[in-house]
Amino acid sequence: MKKLHIVSNRLPFSISYQNDEPSLEPSVGGLATGMNSVYKDFNGKWIGWPGIASDTKTKQELQSVETLLAKEGCESVHLTECEVEEFYEGFCNNTIWPLFHYFAQYVDFHSEFWEAYVAVNQKFADKVLEVVEDDDYVWVHDYQLMLVPEMIKSQRPNITIGYFLHIPFPSYEVFRILPWRKELLKGLLGADLIGFHTYDYERHFLSSVRRLFGYEITFNEIHIDDRIILADAFPMGIDFDKFADAARQIHQTPLKERSEVHKELEKYFLMDPDRKLVLSIDRLDYSKGIPNRLRAFGKFLENHPEYHGKVTLILLSVPSRNNVIHYQRLKSEVEELVGSINGLYGNINYTPVWYFYRSMPFNNLVELYSMSDVALITPVRDGMNLVAKEYVASRINQTGVMVLSEMAGVVKEMGEAIVINPNDEDETERAILQALEMTPEEQASRMLTMQKRLKRYDVFKWAKDFVGALQRVNRIQKDFLAKKITEKISDEIVKRYDKASKRAIFLDYDGTLKGFKDNPQEVQPDSELKNLIESLTSIDKNIVTIISGRDKETLGKWFEGQNVNLICEHGVWLRRKGEDWQMLTNASNSWMPMIRPVLDSYVDRTPGSFLEEKNYSLVWHYRKAEAELGELRAKELRDELTELVANHNLEIMEGNKVVEVKTGGINKGAAANSFLMNMNADFIMALGDDWTDEFLFRELPETAVTIKVGIKHTNANYKLETVEAVRKFLKVLAH
Ligand code: GDG
């Protein structure tokens, strides 16, 4: 069975020491829970950093940690203190983290940090290459390791790689700020499947790929030479039952056995049963919007004196990255705000904000979740936010209200929360009031819907879905490779070719014999191509035809004097070698004056696009237009033309970055078959790259050798990945 290995910055254990003896403490985070469910089933390893700087330990000490971890199926990547500082604290937390959370003003652009990031990613990749076998699956996690997929793929293309980003992928306008934007994307594109929490992040990512590299993207598939890369959204879930069961347990714990936290919370309610608790839990991070939240709560108390003494905000801030200056400043700001609210509205019996700067054991956490009336979750940016999901899972009585920021990925799955813009403190203040006054019936109805959804799509389902998608993309890739012309297949085709006495060879031009270029001057046949056609046509048994959508004037000029047949405008015109042009069908172009103004308006509204006029078709080209705008306009144009086309027996053909309107009933397949009539060819071959060539592949006799150029689905029997591969293959036939 294929193995699945996990790669993440941290291993799912932390190391603690007692009398210099190391021991392992399992992590309780969502990632560890989810991954444990898959990597052990797939017999794989977990590769990551154990969390201790390697140069602070002796070789033996490191060895004993490694041995302990190895027993748990973990493989260690060792990082020095300096690497941790420059790679993790530097590039990860001072460059990627702020940028991807839209805090561009906090971003550090230090090339030493970048170099450390590359070096450490390489260390991780080297470890993977050492541990993993060909054909295994590898699942790489998060923003610390964005270069690892390409570092693995370039060495071992047979390893199937999944990558999941746990933080937002920002819009292109923000991403482009980064000097190393192309390198990061290239790193990610080494993966076969790239997962995000939400469709928005996926969209931003695809847009950056399109704009920075211009790769072809069909829906969520990126096509690069002979590879297919899939991007998709997989909203990460939690271990729902673990939280619900723990909450149930807490409710059933006898008085005497309750924890200190539990007892304190009960005392609070005993003083006045109408009292309410509002809960806020997060790492102390500027992305979490803690100051906004505190200001909104302060305003709420200012405007609602009737709630003084009746509502308390529990602010649990878990220490995080405290040697980064922005985190230190944030801590001071939060503490000042807490102090000012408590100073203004508190008294001997009432503290409006209970502030905890620490982390709490799991059970205390669930006590907070299950005893708080409102969860106030207001990040200014958050990839997902698992705390929101954990709160919902812990509400076993279906009471409780969630006030949730629209900037958290989790909002996509929690439409039943009270959704706010975290920058709008007035709206947040109103939401707090609405939450406190919501009827129990409404609370239950909202809570139940969210619970059902979260229980269904829990962390195990999430991991299973991702792995399923990884297996699927592996199959798609294999299907492509199954049609790819290998040396063996090439030999078989050559054998059939050699045996034949009359060979009809159809060659599409753009994207098949010649690559696409922005500059139309560069698409003329180069000398290598001319020589190739010359050699192919100089063999008596060969009847070579260039079959293209281009107009007859252009192709006629380019191949003047060459011994090649030309079929142009998808089959309207034929010029047999040495003869004049003749029409293959009785086509009419009387529709053109009606359609031209429509296309002209698209040229006007889409900078970089232009109109090409052929004898029997009009072509709108958008290769040089801004990529996304071009796609959008192409779709609009298709919609606009649908009715006109049906009424006038026209056809719309979509090629590579072109929309072509032409007289109906004309296509390359029909043209080729009419050309073949009475010829008695005993070897027929056709090569083409876009869907106008699919007519050829479909309509030629079954015995024909049909070859698609590129990776897309096709009716052809075989595939070649690039124009270079086509030329190489034809050269074999030309000798
Ligand atoms: C990143 C992304 C994305 C918190 N305090 C305590 C404690 N926690 C646990 C919570 C929760 C986890 O930490 C926090 O997860 P979040 O998702 O809320 O936020 P990040 O740490 O920023 O995580 C985020 C996530 O990755 C997953 O992809 O959702 O957007 O930023 O599980 O329970 N646990 C304990 N004591 C605490 O005091 N035991």
Is a pLDDT exceeding 70 seen at residue 151? yes
Ligand 1 and 156: CB distance under 6 A = no
Q: How far is the CA of 387 from the centre of ligand 1 (A)?
A: 6
Q: How far is the CA of 230 from the centre of ligand 1 (A)?
A: 27
Q: How far is the CA of 390 from the centre of ligand 1 (A)?
A: 10
Ligand 1 and 166: CB distance under 6 A = yes
- DSSP calls for 410-468: GGGG-TTSEEE-TT-HHHHHHHHHHHHT--HHHHHHHHHHHHHHHHHT-HHHHHHHHHH
Buried residues in 174-194 as b, exposed as e (16+ CB within 10 A):
bbeebebbeebbbbbbbbbbb
* Sequence-distant (≥ 6) Cβ neighbours of residue 637 within 8 angstroms: 598, 599, 602, 620, 659
Is a pLDDT exceeding 90 seen at residue 489? yes
Mutate to test the pocket of ligand 1, among 363, 380, 387 (most ligand atoms within 8 A of CB): 387
Return the minimum-mean-pLDDT range out of 145-149, 443-447, 532-536, 649-653: 649-653
Q: For tokens 């490191």, what's the residue? A: 62
Q: Which residue has the higher pLDDT, 487 or 293?
A: 293
| Closest listed residue to residue 718, CA positions, set 493, 515, 474, 472 | 493
CATH says 484-585+666-733 is which class?
alpha beta
Alpha carbon distance 47, 322 (integer Å): 26
pLDDT of 353-385, one tens digit each? 999 999 999 999 999 999 999 999 999 999 999
Which of the residues 508, 689, 690, 693 is marked catalytic? Answer: 508
Q: How far is the CA of 16 from the centre of ligand 1 (A)?
A: 21
Indicate if 592-663 has the same CATH topology as 484-585+666-733.
Answer: no
Q: How many CA atoms lie within 13 A of 266 on its CB side?
A: 13
Length of the chain, please? 735
pLDDT of 225-255, one tens digit each? 778 899 999 999 999 999 999 999 999 988 8
| CA-closest residue to ligand 1 atom 27 | 166
pLDDT of the residue at 20? 80
Instruction: For the domain covering 4-233, report its CATH number.
Output: 3.40.50.2000
Q: How far is the CA of 318 from the centre of ligand 1 (A)?
A: 9
| CA-closest residue to ligand 1 atom 13 | 29
Q: How far is the CA of 287 from the centre of ligand 1 (A)?
A: 13
444 φ/ψ sector (left φ>0, alpha ψ -120 to 50, else beta): alpha
pLDDT of 692-722, one tens digit each? 899 999 999 999 999 999 877 789 999 998 8
Q: How far is the CA of 388 from the centre of ligand 1 (A)?
A: 10
pLDDT of the residue at 616? 87
Query: 243 near 393, Cβ under 8 Å?
Result: yes
* pTM (2 d.p.): 0.82
Ligand 1 and 554: CB distance under 6 A = no
Q: Give percent of the chain with pLDDT exceeding 90.
A: 75
Ligand 1 and 27: CB distance under 6 A = no
Alpha carbon distance 690, 687 (integer Å): 10
Domain range list for the chain: 4-233, 240-456, 484-585+666-733, 592-663
pLDDT of the residue at 520? 61
Alpha carbon distance 176, 169 (integer Å): 12
| CA-closest residue to ligand 1 atom 36 | 360
Looking at 457-579, list the stretches that DSSP marks H as alpha helix, in order from N- to C-terminal side: 459-483, 487-499, 527-537, 552-558
pLDDT of 28-54, one tens digit each? 666 777 787 677 788 899 999 999 999
| Pair of tokens at residue 550 | 């281009």
Ligand 1 and 167: CB distance under 6 A = yes
Q: How far is the CA of 462 from the centre of ligand 1 (A)?
A: 17
| CA-closest residue to ligand 1 atom 23 | 385
pLDDT of the residue at 478? 82
pLDDT of the residue at 398? 96
Q: Which residue has the higher pLDDT, 691 or 157?
A: 157
User: Which is the closest atom of ligand 1 to the Cα of 288?
Assistant: 22
pLDDT of the residue at 385? 95
Is a pLDDT exceeding 80 seen at residue 569? yes
The predicted model gives 480-500 an average pLDDT of 91
Q: How far is the CA of 438 from the centre of ligand 1 (A)?
A: 27
pLDDT of 335-354, one tens digit each? 999 999 999 999 999 999 99
User: Which is the closest atom of ligand 1 to the Cα of 30?
Assistant: 32
pLDDT of the residue at 518? 65
| CA-closest residue to ligand 1 atom 26 | 166
Enumerate the β-bridge partners of residue 504.
Answer: 543, 684
The predicted model gives 465-488 an average pLDDT of 87
Measured CA angle at 546 (ends 631, 728), to 5 deg: 85
pLDDT of the residue at 521? 65
Tell me 565's DSSP state. Answer: E
| Closest listed residue to residue 376, CA positions, set 326, 429, 331 | 429
pLDDT of the residue at 690? 87
Alpha carbon distance 290, 376 (integer Å): 10
Q: How far is the CA of 146 from the centre of ligand 1 (A)?
A: 21
Looking at 40-147, list the stretches that DSSP marks H as alpha helix, in order from N- to C-terminal side: 59-71, 81-83, 97-100, 111-131
| Direct distance between the N- and C-terminal alpha carbons of the chain, in angstroms, rounded to an integer | 45
Looking at 214-320, list the stretches that DSSP marks H as alpha helix, in order from N- to C-terminal side: 240-252, 260-271, 290-303
Q: Which residue has the higher pLDDT, 128 or 522?
A: 128
AA identity, residue 395:
R
CB atoms within 10 A of CB 104: 13
pLDDT of 381-401, one tens digit each? 999 999 999 999 999 999 999
Ligand 1 and 357: CB distance under 6 A = no
Q: How far is the CA of 713 from the centre of ligand 1 (A)?
A: 41
- Helices 527-537, 723-733: axis angle to 10 degrees equals 30
Tell me 257's DSSP state. Answer: G
Query: 2 near 467, Cβ under 8 Å?
Result: no
Is a pLDDT exceeding 70 seen at residue 519? no
Mutate to test the pocket of ligand 1, among 28, 385, 410, 459 (most ligand atoms within 8 A of CB): 385
Mutate to test the pocket of ligand 1, among 93, 316, 376, 384 (most ligand atoms within 8 A of CB): 384
Statement: 592-663 belongs to CATH 3.30.70.1020: yes
| Closest listed residue to residue 199, CA positions, set 234, 164, 165, 230 | 234
| Pair of tokens at residue 553 | 């004037």
CB atoms within 10 A of CB 689: 26
Q: For tokens 């090649």, what's the residue? A: 564
Alpha carbon distance 481, 475 (integer Å): 10
User: Which is the closest atom of ligand 1 to the Cα of 197?
Assistant: 28
Average pLDDT over the chain, rounded to whole?
A: 92
Ligand 1 and 319: CB distance under 6 A = no
Ligand 1 and 359: CB distance under 6 A = yes
pLDDT of the residue at 30? 65
- Catalytic residue list contains 508: yes
pLDDT of the residue at 441? 97
pLDDT of 608-640, one tens digit each? 899 999 888 999 999 888 888 898 899 999 988
Q: How far is the CA of 282 from the centre of ligand 1 (A)?
A: 7
User: Which is the closest atom of ligand 1 to the Cα of 410?
Assistant: 29
CATH topology of domain 240-456: Rossmann fold (3.40.50)
Ligand 1 and 6: CB distance under 6 A = no
Query: Which pairs count as long-range contacts for 320-324, CB under 8 Å and 24+ apart, including other chains?
Result: 320/283, 320/284, 320/285, 321/89, 321/93, 321/285, 322/284, 323/89, 324/89, 324/93, 324/94
Ligand 1 and 28: CB distance under 6 A = yes
Ligand 1 and 142: CB distance under 6 A = no
| CA-closest residue to ligand 1 atom 4 | 282
Query: 259 near 224, Cβ under 8 Å?
Result: no
* Residue 351 buriedness (CB in 10 A; 0-12 / 13-18 / 19+): middle
Ligand 1 and 70: CB distance under 6 A = no
User: Which is the closest atom of ligand 1 to the Cα of 382?
Assistant: 30
| CA-closest residue to ligand 1 atom 1 | 166
Ligand 1 and 283: CB distance under 6 A = yes
* Residue 248 buriedness (CB in 10 A; 0-12 / 13-18 / 19+): middle
Ligand 1 and 360: CB distance under 6 A = yes
Q: How far is the CA of 72 from the centre of ligand 1 (A)?
A: 23
Mutate to test the pocket of ligand 1, among 386, 410, 411, 458 (most ligand atoms within 8 A of CB): 386
| CA-closest residue to ligand 1 atom 21 | 283
pLDDT of 181-200, one tens digit each? 999 999 999 999 999 999 99
pLDDT of 658-681, one tens digit each? 999 988 888 999 999 999 998 999
Characterize the bridge pairing of strands 683-688 and 503-507: parallel
The predicted model gives 453-464 an average pLDDT of 92
CB atoms within 10 A of CB 50: 24
Q: Give percent of the chain with pLDDT exceeding 70.
A: 99
Ligand 1 and 318: CB distance under 6 A = yes
Rg, the chain, Cα only: 32
| CA-closest residue to ligand 1 atom 28 | 166
